[in-house]
Amino acid sequence: MSNSTYDISPRTKMVRGHKRASYDRATVHRIIDEAIICHVGTVLDGRPVMIPTAHWRAGEQFYIHGATKNRVLAAIADGAEACICITHLDGLVMARSAFHHSANYRSVVMYGKGRVLNDPALKMEQSALFIEKLAKGRWDQIRQPNIQELKATLFLEFDMAEVSAKIRSGDPVDDEEDYALPVWAGVLPCRTVWDDPVDDRRLDRSLLPHATLA
Amino acid sequence: MSNSTYDISPRTKMVRGHKRASYDRATVHRIIDEAIICHVGTVLDGRPVMIPTAHWRAGEQFYIHGATKNRVLAAIADGAEACICITHLDGLVMARSAFHHSANYRSVVMYGKGRVLNDPALKMEQSALFIEKLAKGRWDQIRQPNIQELKATLFLEFDMAEVSAKIRSGDPVDDEEDYALPVWAGVLPCRTVWDDPVDDRRLDRSLLPHATLA
Question: Cβ–Cβ of A184/B214 closer than 8 Å?
Answer: yes
Q: What is the ipTM metric for this complex? A: 0.94
Q: What is the pLDDT of residue A3?
A: 86
Question: Nearest CA of chain A to the CA of B70: how many Å?
Answer: 7
Which residue on chain A is closest to B185 by alpha carbon? Answer: A200
Q: Does A200 map to a domain?
A: no
In a domain, residue A203? The reply is: no
Measured between CA atoms, how close is B194 to chain A, in angstroms?
Answer: 4
Domain that holds residue B161: 18-194
pLDDT tens-digit series, residues A183-212: 999 999 999 999 999 999 999 999 998 655
- Residue A178 DSSP symbol: G
* Each residue's pLDDT tens digit, B154-212: 999 999 999 999 999 999 999 999 999 999 999 999 999 999 999 999 999 999 986 55
Instruction: Tell me which amino acid residue B106 is.
Output: R
Beta strands B82-94 and A37-44 are unpaired
pLDDT number for residue A2: 54
Residue A167 has pLDDT above 60, yes or no: yes
Looking at residue A108, its pLDDT comes to: 98
A107 and A166 in contact (C-beta within 8 Å)? yes
CA atoms of A21 and A39, how far apart (whole Å) = 20
Q: Is the pLDDT of residue B214 over 70?
A: no
**Interval A66-81 mean pLDDT:** 97
**In angstroms, rounded to a whole number, what is the distance separating the alpha carbons of residues B171 and B204?**
50
- What value does the mean pLDDT of chain B take? 95
**A201 at the B interface (CB within 8 A)?**
yes
Paired with A110 in beta bridges are A84, A163
Pairing of strands B47-58, A115-116: unpaired
For residue range A15-27, what is the model confidence (pLDDT) as tens digits?
777 789 999 999 9
For every residue of B112-152, DSSP letters joined together read E--EE---HHHHHHHHHHHHHHHSTT-TTTSBPP-HHHHHT
In the three-class reduction of DSSP (H, G, I as helix; E, B as strand; rest coil), residue A127 is classed as helix
Kindly list the distances between the CA atom of residue B24 and the CA atoms of A45, A127, A167, B162, B167, in Å, as whole numbers in the listed order: 27, 35, 35, 12, 12
Among A143, A171, A202, pick the best mutation site for testing chain B contact (most B Cβ within 10 A).
A143
Q: Does the residue B201 lie in any domain?
A: no
Which amino acid is located at B1 in the chain? Answer: M
**Quick count: other Cβ atoms within 10 Å of Cβ B198?**
16
- Chain B CA closest to residue A144: B98
> Is B207 close to A49, i.e. CB distance below 8 A?
no
Percent of chain A scored above 90 by pLDDT?
91
**B145/A43 touch (CB, cutoff 8 Å), yes or no:** no
Give the pLDDT confidence score for residue A211 in this predicted structure: 53
Residue A35 included in any domain = yes
Work out the minimum CA distance from A19 to partner chain B, whole angstroms: 15
Cα B157 to the chain's mean position, in Å?
14
Is residue A191 a part of any domain in this protein? no
Confidence of residue A79 (pLDDT cuts 50, 70, 90): very high
Contact A185 B200 (CB under 8 A): yes
Q: What is the pLDDT of residue B15?
A: 73
Cα–Cα dist B120/B100, whole Å: 52
Query: What pLDDT band is residue B213 in, cutting at 50, 70 and 90?
Result: low
Q: Are the Cβ atoms of A98 and B134 closer than 8 angstroms?
A: no
Query: How many domains in chain A?
Result: 1
- Answer for the pair A89, A173: CB distance below 8 angstroms, yes or no: no
- Please report, for the domain that includes residue B149, its CATH number: 2.30.110.10
As a whole number, the mean pLDDT across chain A is: 95
For chains A and B, CB pairs below 8 A equal 287
Within a domain: residue A118? yes
pLDDT bracket for residue B18 (50, 70, 90): confident
Length of chain A, in residues:
214
Q: What is the distance between the alpha carbons of residues B203 and B192, in angstroms, rounded to a whole number? A: 27
Q: How close B213 comes to chain A (CA, Å)?
A: 6
pLDDT value at A147 more than 60? yes
Provide, rounded to the nearest whole percent, the portion of chain B with pLDDT above 70: 96
Q: Place A48 in a pLDDT band, splitting at 50, 70 and 90.
A: very high
Greater confidence (B209 vs B128) lies with B128
B59 lies in some domain: yes
Buried b / exposed e along B17-46 (16+ C-beta atoms within 10 A): eeeebbbebebbbebbeebbbbbbbbbbee
Report CB contact under 8 Å: B144, A195.
no
